[in-house]
A and B are shown apart, each in its own frame.
Chain A
Amino acid sequence: MAGGIKKFVVGCFDDEKTLFPAVKNVRKAGYKIHDVYTPFPVHGLDHAMGIRETSLHTAGFIYAITGTTTALSFISWIFVKDWPLNIGGKPHFALPAWIPITFELTVLFSAVGMVLTFCYLCQLAPFVKKHHFHPRATDDLFVMAIECTDKTNDAEVQAFLQNAGAIEINVQNAETGWWIGRYDREQKLYKEEKGY
Chain B
Amino acid sequence: MSLLKYESQLREPLVDGNKDYHQVTEDIIRPIEMKPSRLWYIGFAISIVLLCFGVYSVYREVTYGIGQWNLNKTIGWGWDITNFVWWIGIGHAGTLISAILLLFRQGWRTGVNRAAEAMTIFAVICAGQFPIWHMGRVWMAFFVMPYPNSRGPVWVNFNSPLLWDVFAISTYFTVSLLFWYSGLLPDLATVRDRAKTKFRKMFYGVASFGWSGSTKHWQRHESLALVLAGLSTPLVLSVHTIVSFDFATSIVPGWHTTIFPPYFVAGAIFSGFAMVQSLMIVVRKVLGLEDYITVGHIEAMNKVIVLTGSIVGCAYLTELFIAWYGQNPYEWFAFKENRANLFSPYGWSYWLMMFCNVVSPQLFWSRKLRRNITVTFFMSIIVNIGMWYERFVIIVTSVYRDYLPSSWSTYYSPSIWEIGFYLGTFGLFFFCFFLFAKYFPVIAVAEIKAILKTSGENYKVKMTDIEKADAEKFYIEEVEHGH
Residue A89 CB within 8 A of the other chain: no
Q: How far is the CA of A135 from the CA of B234 in the complex (A)?
A: 39
- Chain B's interface size range is 35 or more
Q: Which residues of A contact B106 (CB under 8 A)?
A: none
Would A129 and B210 be within 8 Å (CB), given that A39-B446, A100-B238, A184-B202 are in contact? yes
Question: In the complex, A51 Cα to B217 Cα: how many Å?
Answer: 11
* CB-based contact B228/A83 at 8 Å: no
Q: Does A167 contact B (CB under 8 A)?
A: no
Task: Give min CB distance, B12 to chain A, whole Å.
Answer: 21
In A104-146, which residues have CB < 8 Å from any B CB? Answer: 104-105, 107-108, 110-112, 114-115, 118-119, 121-130, 132, 135-140, 143
In this assembly, does B8 line the interface, its C-beta being within 8 Å of a C-beta of chain A? no
Given A41-B218, A136-B193: A108 touches B450 (CB 8 Å cut-off):
no
How far does the alpha carbon of A140 sit from the alpha carbon of B129 in the complex, in Å? 42
Query: Which of the segments B152-160, B317-325, B386-394, B421-429 contacts the partner chain?
Result: B152-160
Q: Is B136 an interface residue (CB 8 A)?
A: no
A183 x B216 contact (CB < 8 A): no
A150 lies within 8 A of chain B by Cβ: no
Residues of chain A with a CB closer than 8 A to B226's CB: 57
Interface centre among A56, A132, A183 (most CB of B within 10 A): A183
Which of A107, A118, A184 makes the CB contact (< 8 A) with B220?
A118
A79–B158 CB distance below 8 A: yes
Instruction: Say yes or no: A139 contacts B193, CB within 8 Å.
Output: yes
Give the contacting residue for B231; candidates A51, A90, A110; CB below 8 A. Answer: A110
The reply to whether the CB of A155 lies closer than 8 angstroms to some CB of chain B is no
> Cα distance A56–B223 when bound, in Å?
7
* Distance of A160 Cα from B161 Cα, bound (Å): 66
Residue interface mask B192-229, A partner, CB < 8 A = 1: 11110011011011110111111111111111101110
**Cβ contact of B213, chosen from A38, A90, A129, cutoff 8 A:** A38
| Given known contacts A56-B220, A111-B175, A183-B192, A130 and B212 CB-to-CB distance under 8 angstroms | yes
Please provide the chain B residues from 127 to 169 with a CB less than 8 Å away from any CB of chain A in the complex.
Answer: 146, 152-155, 157-159, 161, 163-164, 167-168
What residues of chain A lie closer than 8 Å to B219, measured between beta carbons?
Answer: 41, 46, 51, 53-54
Contacts of B220 in A (CB 8 A): 54, 56, 118, 121-122
Q: Which residue of A lies closest to B164 (CB)?
A: A100
> Could you say which of B155, B189, B190 contacts A78, with CB atoms under 8 Å apart?
B155
B455 shortest CB reach to chain A, Å: 14
Does residue A2 face the partner (Cβ distance < 8 Å to B)? no
In the complex, per-residue mask of A166-188: 1 if CB is within 8 Å of any chain B CB, else 0? 00000000000010001110000
* Chain B residues with CB below 8 A from A44, complex form: 1
- Distance in angstroms from B221 CB to nearest chain A CB is 7
Q: How large is the interface on A (under 10, 10 to 19, 20 to 34, 35 or more residues)?
A: 35 or more
Cβ of B337 < 8 Å from any Cβ of A?
Answer: no
Let me know if B210 and A100 touch, CB within 8 A: no
The reply to whether B215 and A38 contact each other, CB–CB distance below 8 Å, is yes
A127 contacts across to B, CB distance below 8 A: 206
- A36 touching B159 by the CB < 8 A rule? no
Q: In the assembled complex, how far is the CB of residue A90 from the closest CB belonging to chain B, in whole angstroms?
A: 8
**B118 on the interface (CB 8 Å rule)?**
no
**Across the two chains, which residue of chain A brings its CB closest to B201?**
A184
Complex interface: chain B residues within 8 A of A82 (CB): 153, 155
Check B38 for interface membership: any CB of A closer than 8 A. Answer: no
B325-358 interface with A by 8 A CB criterion = none
Closest to B182 in A: A115
Question: How many residue-residue contacts, CB under 8 A, span A and B?
Answer: 206
In whole angstroms, how far apart are the Cα atoms of A130 and B218 in the complex?
16
A residues near B198, Cβ cutoff 8 Å: 184
Q: Would you call B82 an interface residue if the criterion is a C-beta within 8 Å of the partner chain's C-beta atoms? A: no
**CB-CB nearest in chain B for A132:** B212
The stretch of B18-26, B40-48, B266-274, B432-440 that contacts the partner chain: B18-26
CB pair B167 A105 closer than 8 Å: yes
- Would you call A190 an interface residue if the criterion is a C-beta within 8 Å of the partner chain's C-beta atoms? no
Chain A hits for B171, CB < 8 A = 104-105, 107-108
Let me know if B449 is at the binding interface, CB within 8 A.
yes
| Cβ-defined contact, A51 with B21, below 8 A | no
Known: A41-B450, A132-B193. A111 touches B174 (CB 8 A): yes
Once A37-B213, A75-B158, A122-B217 are accepted as A-B contacts, the answer to whether A138 and B182 lie under 8 Å apart by CB is no
A87, B163: Cα distance in complex, Å: 15
Is B456 engaged at the interface, CB distance under 8 Å to the other chain? Answer: no
Closest B-chain residue to A111, C-beta based?
A: B175
Q: Contacts A40-B186, A111-B178, A127-B206: A87 and B159 contacting too (C-beta < 8 A)?
A: yes
- Nearest chain B residue, comparing its CB with the CB of A55: B223
Chain B, Cβ-Cβ closest to A60: B227
B126 in the interface (beta carbon within 8 A): no
Say whether B235 faces chain A, with CB atoms less than 8 Å apart. Answer: yes
Residues of chain A in range 42-100 having any CB-CB distance to chain B below 8 Å: 42-46, 49, 51, 53-54, 56-57, 60, 64, 74-75, 78-79, 82-83, 85, 87, 90, 94, 97-98, 100
* Cα distance, A139 to B158, chains bound together (Å): 50
- CB of A101 closer than 8 Å to a CB of B: yes
Judge whether A124 and B211 touch: CB under 8 Å.
Answer: yes
- Among candidates A41, A138, A183, residue contacting B221 with C-beta atoms closer than 8 Å: A41
CB nearest neighbor in A for B161: A100
Do B178 and A101 touch across chains, with their CB atoms under 8 A apart? no
Residue contact B210 to A128, C-beta cutoff 8 Å: yes
Bound form: Cα–Cα A111–B170 in Å: 13
Question: Please, which residues of chain A bring their CB within 8 A of the CB of B159?
Answer: 79, 87, 90, 94, 97-98
- Extra contacts, 20 of them, besides A37-B214, A41-B222, A126-B209 (Cβ < 8 A), are A38-B215, A38-B218, A39-B213, A40-B449, A53-B219, A54-B219, A79-B159, A94-B159, A97-B159, A104-B168, A114-B224, A118-B220, A123-B210, A125-B210, A132-B193, A132-B212, A136-B193, A138-B193, A182-B202, A184-B198
The 7 nearest A-B residue pairs measured at CB: A183-B205, A140-B21, A128-B210, A184-B201, A124-B209, A184-B202, A40-B449
> What are 14 A-to-B residue pairs whose CB atoms are below 8 Å?
A36-B215, A41-B222, A42-B218, A54-B216, A54-B220, A101-B158, A105-B171, A108-B171, A112-B174, A122-B211, A126-B209, A128-B209, A139-B21, A143-B213
